[in-house]
Chain A
Amino acid sequence: MLDYKDEWLLDMGGMMEKNLEQYYDPTSLYARLRLAQMKRAWKKENRRKLTLWERTYLPTLVSGVWLTSKHFFYNLMFHILHLFGLAKDVKAAVTYQYPEKPRPLSPRLRTRHRLTKRADGSPRCVACMMCETVCPARCIEITAAEHPDPNIEKYPAEFIIDLGKCVYCGFCVEVCPEDAIRMDTQRLDIAEYSREEMIYNKKRLMED
């Protein structure tokens, strides 16, 4: 039973002590982050000065052109060989004409969520909050309500997924006892003009 949820706010002195403990514990996350930060700062300060030859930018330019042309001629050669039916086991790079022609996706790939429906078109979801509980990004917000049918009892009055926060871990699909949420829409290109539009509600999640 946690009695002082806000103890660290109520008691600033205690908070300082707690942080000090963390600071002296080299295994703590705090200490490790602090160490990484110090390393970065050291590297920035002690950065090597560029020589005159390097400052002409010629060596990096040449090595860049070399790398690009290497890939170009490599792919060109193998595509020509493939035309003649040779060296078929060596792969060569292919360009997809996205977005006109989307790349084929594996059916197992976790893509944007959808809410599955019952025969009458209402959501299968019973608002048990399992997905909301398991979600590591805390992007799911369900508001439960009483269903008119006492055999269903509970249904989501609102079901919100904030795709701006979602990490596509698929835990929500895994944990669902009703098979009510799936990540099989094959939609990956989710782009909106504002953060608010990234928040999908029940209606949008049930569209497909």
Chain B
Amino acid sequence: MPKLSIDGKQLEVPEGETIIRAAKRVGISIPHYCWHPALPVAGNCRICMVEVEKQPKPQIACYTPVTDGMVVKTNSPKVLEVRRAVLEFLLVNHPLDCPVCDQAGECKLQDYYMDHGQYDSRLADMKVKKEKKAFAIGPTVMLDQERCILCTRCVRFTEHITHTHEFGVFNRGDHSVLDLYPGKKLDNNYSGNVVDICPVGALTDRDFRFKCRVWYLEKTRSICPGCSMGCNITVEWDKSRPHQFKHARVMRLKPRHNPDVNSYWMCDKGRYNYHFIDENRILEPQFKNDVMSWDKAIEVVADTIRPIIQANRADKIGVLASAQLTNEDLFLVRQLFKETGAQVDFRVPEKPGEGDEFLLKADRNPNTAGALKIIGTDVQAEEILKKARQGAFEVLYVFGADLVKLLGTEVVGEIAGKVKLFVYQGSNINETCLWAHLNLPSSVYAEKDGTLTNCQQKVQRLWPAFLPLGEAKADWEILSLISEKLGKPLGYKNSSAVFDALAKKVPGFAGMSYEKISDSGMVLS
């Protein structure tokens, strides 16, 4: 274990660690472009130069291993001068199109120029221009070769993370350009990540292109609901400027670092799966195509359920929960329906998606593991649907599943005709809504405070970014209101109270709380 000092701070790090990683441990950040913690070292941008005592020239921090007794200075006059010179060199041919560049505001060139550059341009000649300005290199990414500083992060990403080898640096000297290999297109399922790792605006997102300036964005930590992997993400949204991008609130999703789940990455399927948050939402409760107040809608449900429960015929209630719901929502389903004897299952017979070996899983529900623990598997969803078709149920309560898509219009029409009350509780309008007697608007994941359990049995936290659209409410809140109307209130004030009750009742969640889960998540016991 070599001991060294960085800017006067003493530390001990494992053998073979590089200076930049060691400095990170003590909270010193050394400027870097080409170095990325999840990629192999390239050492070509030279901005991370630091002064090492007894060495005549400054060394690159990203590739110099620490040795015992090393004394590193990251802010000496010599280092600052080198940094400035390197920055000037990198910016020689960089176009000054920050006003039209989507990266502006989160660009490392801008940041380091303000921190370490601040020089006047000494360039007398015209900047070297490339053949083409911005052009699409695949369904998700735009490339602007003039803005590229040739850090090769994207090249290494496609080489070592996705193994798809699309990118390369061609030609030499100031003719060198970043480009795709001939005949290739960047259309693998992880292509969006090259936009995240690009420190400048050379690779930008086509989906996010010109939608919004990044400094307007608010960021909320969340979990991707796209598959059972549960990648950690940040929801980036802006409510203050509704004229941009069709009144939508969410502008983009970005991966959030979690070493145990998704590292720094997320897949494109998840990344562009956010339009449903603002589009096509159910905004208020609807009873037989008439808008209804929440109070009345809840009354309709309670009035139908109450006599059934009182007559001890709770098995006449069929509930199709969903693994899209959070643990809190599912716990309320369990308390309100399962514990009174209703037929509850969450495994709606869906067509499984296609998974891959990296992040995307075939199971497209983010909370299957949690639902297994909370709801259990004693009833089959297919059986519930079969019984509903035979007319064995008086109430069918569906959470978010598009039955028309799964079973076809005729079957759902038949079911709707046979049950007394067909409740659809979901966030978005689909064809099932047309058949349901009562539609209850629920909030989407970005509006929820809750937890999801991923395929690694990890319970992970979601934070609400904004209030629900229209009159939508969180699923647990709706169920809690129904329980109040039924005369046996469950009495939860917020989702944290629900989770505390859940932790006490459901084995596996024992000892968990929102504080303990926090950013990194907790594994089910």
A contact set with B: CB distance below 8 Å: 1-6, 9-10, 126-130, 132-133, 141, 143-146, 150-154, 158, 160, 177-178
Contacts and interface: CB of A to CB of B under 8 A. Distances in A.
Nearest to A178: B99
Interface majority SS on B: helix, strand, loop or mixed?
loop
B78 interface: no
Contacts of B467: 6, 9-10
Contacts of A4: 463-464
Given A133-B215, A150-B134, A150-B135, A3 B221 contact: yes
Contacts of A130: 99
Contacts of A153: 97, 100, 133-134
B219 A129 contact: no
Q: Which 9 A-B pairs have the closest CB atoms?
A: A128-B99, A150-B133, A144-B210, A154-B100, A141-B243, A153-B100, A129-B213, A126-B100, A177-B99
B132 interface: yes
Nearest to B219: A1
Interface hub of A10, A141, A146, A154 (most chain B Cβ within 10 A): A154
B258 interface: no
A4 B467 CA distance: 10
Interface string B116-140: 0000000000000000111100000
A10 B449 CA distance: 11
Contacts of A144: 210-211, 244
Interface string B91-105: 000000111100010
22 contacts: A1-B219, A3-B221, A3-B463, A4-B463, A5-B218, A5-B220, A9-B467, A10-B467, A126-B99, A126-B100, A128-B98, A128-B99, A128-B100, A130-B99, A132-B241, A133-B216, A150-B134, A153-B100, A153-B133, A154-B99, A160-B243, A177-B99
B86 to A, nearest CB: 26
A154 B221 contact: no
A127 B466 contact: no
Interface of B: 97-100, 104, 132-135, 209-211, 213, 215-216, 218-221, 239, 241, 243-244, 463-467
A6 B210 contact: no
Contacts of B244: 143-144
A102 B137 CA distance: 58
Contacts of B218: 2, 5
Contacts, number: 64
B136 to A, nearest CB: 11
A3 B465 CA distance: 7
Contacts of B135: 150
A5 B100 contact: no
B210 A145 contact: yes
Given A128-B99, A146-B210, A158-B243, 17 more contacts: A1-B219, A3-B220, A3-B463, A4-B463, A5-B465, A6-B466, A6-B467, A129-B213, A141-B241, A144-B210, A150-B133, A150-B134, A151-B133, A153-B100, A153-B133, A160-B243, A178-B99
B99 A146 contact: no
B466 A5 contact: yes
A108 to B, nearest CB: 26
Interface majority SS on A: helix, strand, loop or mixed?
loop
A151 to B, nearest CB: 5
Nearest to B463: A3
Contacts of B211: 144
Contacts of B100: 126-128, 152-154
Contacts of A128: 98-100, 104, 213
B220 to A, nearest CB: 6
Interface hub of B99, B135, B221 (most chain A Cβ within 10 A): B99
Nearest to B215: A133
A163 to B, nearest CB: 17
A154 B211 CA distance: 11
A153 B466 CA distance: 32
Interface hub of B132, B220, B221 (most chain A Cβ within 10 A): B220
Contacts of B220: 1, 3, 5
A1 B222 CA distance: 13
A150 B213 contact: no
A200 to B, nearest CB: 14
Given A141-B243, A177-B99, A154 B210 contact: yes
Contacts of B221: 1, 3
Nearest to A176: B99
Interface hub of B104, B216, B463, B464 (most chain A Cβ within 10 A): B464
B470 to A, nearest CB: 15
Contacts of B241: 132, 141
Nearest to A128: B99
Contacts of B99: 126, 128, 130, 154, 177-178
